[in-house]
Amino acid sequence: MASFNLHLKPAIAFLLFNLFLFIGYPQTAPGLSFKIIPLGVKGGADESNLSSYLVAPIGSDQHICLDAGTLYAGIQKTIATGVLKGNATYILRNNVKAYLISHPHLDHVAGLIINSPDDTSKNIYALPFCIDVLKNNYFTWKSWANFANEGDKPTLNKYTYIALDTAKETPIENTRMYVRPFLLSHSYPYKSTAFLIRHNESYLLYLGDTGADEVENTNNISLLWQHVAPLVQSKKLKGIFIETSFPNEQPAKQLYGHLTPALLMEEMSDLGKYTGKNALKNFPVLITHIKPSATGAENKIRLQLLKENTLHLKLIFPQQAVALKL
């Protein structure tokens, strides 16, 4: 028995040591961190299906809304599919905690504006150029009631503008998430925004509408890739939302600050220069803002992306009211 105990004690000590390691330190193994509910995914034509994505940590119902082209109609569709349960007005008022607006084009803000009378008090997070348009063109008493806290008097103070700073991360009130913005070019000199969302040590990257660096004559996307490359390598970045609006046949002069499959893959190859190509294998890339047309452009875009996917990215084509987890 004594001999047995002598052999048992080191074994127990080894097990306890490893148990301490398991529970005492954050686990770095990749796993699911975010739930995504697309309220709208298209880049035009159907006003009930425009860019808008609810995002929350898994296990939370405190959502942020990344752009808000479609809002109430999208919530209604998610209730119909069983993704969300309850009343659409209640969900809008209580489960959407904040709006993050990449740029002020109508297909990204129409739902926010139209549904503002029935909404509750919350923050609108955006870069100053975007807030200026919301304040001076939309939430004014000339075009709509001013439900915000700045601009035309009287201000109804339902929404509070939070001007983001590209140099720092900002907590998103009433959620467990943080955001850092990055500037994009959307038909230069017009601008858009990428949002790097963080919850604990997990990240999502959402790009609003953007042109390619080579077309826009900027290095905005390249600078963004340099920042997020370490997060891809460490598997902390769970996915990238990025637009592909037109098929490759679209003339360069008619891109208007958007990407084609070929341009997207060029940008992803640029990311691969910073991460190493192996880091991008099976990395989730969510394709947004496809512009439907009578010429079958949507299917053409999908086929071109799949054909040109030499990096073996995990291409995801979000569908309205179909939830995703990353």
- State the Cα torsion 129-135-137-142 to the nearest 10°: -170
User: Is residue 25 pLDDT above 70, yes or no?
Assistant: no
The pLDDT, as a whole number, for residue 18 is 37
Mean pLDDT calculated for residue range 206-228: 98
The pLDDT, as a whole number, for residue 7 is 40
The pLDDT, as a whole number, for residue 294 is 59
CA atoms of 79 and 77, how far apart (whole Å): 5
Q: What pTM, to 2 d.p., does this model score?
A: 0.90
- Quickly tell me which residue has 């097990």 as its tokens: 15
244 in any annotated domain: yes
Identity of the amino acid at 174: N
143 in any annotated domain: yes
The pLDDT, as a whole number, for residue 241 is 98
User: Of the given ranges (40-44, 123-127, 310-314), which has the lowest mean pLDDT?
Assistant: 40-44
CA atoms of 286 and 66, how far apart (whole Å): 14
The pLDDT, as a whole number, for residue 4 is 34
43 in any annotated domain: yes
- The CA angle 71-200-173, to the nearest 5 degrees, is 45
**Nearest partner of 131 among 63, 175, 193, judged by Cα:** 193
SS3 label, residue 66 = strand
130 in any annotated domain: yes
CA atoms of 143 and 239, how far apart (whole Å): 37
Mean pLDDT calculated for residue range 262-274: 98
Bridging pattern class, strands 202-207 and 191-199 = antiparallel
**Nearest partner of 130 among 94, 101, 97, 90, judged by Cα:** 101
Condensed to tens digits (0 to 9), the pLDDT of residues 72-127 reads 999 999 999 999 999 999 999 999 999 999 999 999 999 999 999 999 999 999 99
Distances (CA, A) of 204 to 4, 45, 67, 94, 195: 52, 27, 15, 23, 8
- What is 265-286 written as a DSSP string? HHHHHHHHHHH-GGGGTT-EEE
281 in any annotated domain: yes
Contact between 178 and 164 under an 8 Å Cβ cutoff? The reply is no
- The CA angle 42-179-70, to the nearest 5 degrees, is 25
Which letter does DSSP use for residue 291 in this model? -
The pLDDT, as a whole number, for residue 303 is 96
Other Cβ atoms closer than 10 A to 157: 12
- CA neighbours within 13 Å on the CB side: how many for 293? 12
Residue range of the domain that includes 175 = 33-325
Contact between 208 and 108 under an 8 Å Cβ cutoff? The reply is yes
User: Is residue 162 pLDDT above 50, yes or no?
Assistant: yes
pLDDT band at 45 (very low <50, low <70, confident <90, very high): confident
Say which CATH number the domain at 56 has.
3.60.15.10
pLDDT band at 13 (very low <50, low <70, confident <90, very high): very low
Higher-scoring residue by pLDDT: 68, 6: 68
19 in any annotated domain: no
Mean pLDDT of all residues belonging to the chain: 91
Which letter does DSSP use for residue 290 in this model? B
How far, rounded to the nearest angstrom, does the alpha carbon of residue 231 sit from its chain's CA centroid? 16
28 in any annotated domain: no
User: Is residue 19 pLDDT above 60, yes or no?
Assistant: no
Identity of the amino acid at 225: W
Instruction: Identify the helix (H) or strand (E) that includes residue 135.
Output: none
237 in any annotated domain: yes
User: Is residue 30 pLDDT above 80, yes or no?
Assistant: no
CA atoms of 195 and 106, how far apart (whole Å): 19
Identity of the amino acid at 267: E
User: Of the given ranges (13-17, 253-257, 320-324), which has the lowest mean pLDDT?
Assistant: 13-17
Identity of the amino acid at 246: F
In the chain, the number of structural domains is: 1
Percent of the chain with pLDDT over 90: 86
The pLDDT, as a whole number, for residue 15 is 36
Mean pLDDT calculated for residue range 229-237: 98
User: Is residue 221 pLDDT above 90, yes or no?
Assistant: yes
CA atoms of 115 and 45, how far apart (whole Å): 20
